[in-house]
């Protein structure tokens, strides 16, 4: 198990969560990513892996 996932690992796991239909899991992981690297929010919004993400409900 990864003790402290890098931003890239956490981001990729969020991609997998979203692609598997787990938006809640993807949002939890993305929240960690954005807390550490706020600039990744624009990357995520443009990423086709997050096409199904409801960004309006993202806190």
Give, for all 59 residues of the chain, the pLDDT tens digit: 556 678 999 999 999 999 999 999 999 999 999 999 999 999 999 999 999 998 887 75
What is the predicted pLDDT for the residue at 3? 61
Alpha-carbon distance values, 4 to 8, 10, 14, 23, 32 (Å): 11, 9, 15, 22, 11
What is the predicted pLDDT for the residue at 43? 92
What is the predicted pLDDT for the residue at 29? 95
What is the predicted pLDDT for the residue at 4? 66
pTM of the full structure: 0.86
What is the predicted pLDDT for the residue at 56? 85
């Amino acid at each position: 198990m990864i003790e402290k996932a890098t931003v890239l690992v956490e981001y990729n796991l969020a991609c997998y969560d979203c692609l598997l239909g787990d938006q809640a899991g993807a949002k939890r992981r993305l929240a960690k990513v954005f807390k550490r690297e706020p600039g990744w929010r624009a990357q995520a919004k443009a990423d086709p892996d997050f096409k199904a993400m409801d960004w309006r409900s993202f806190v």
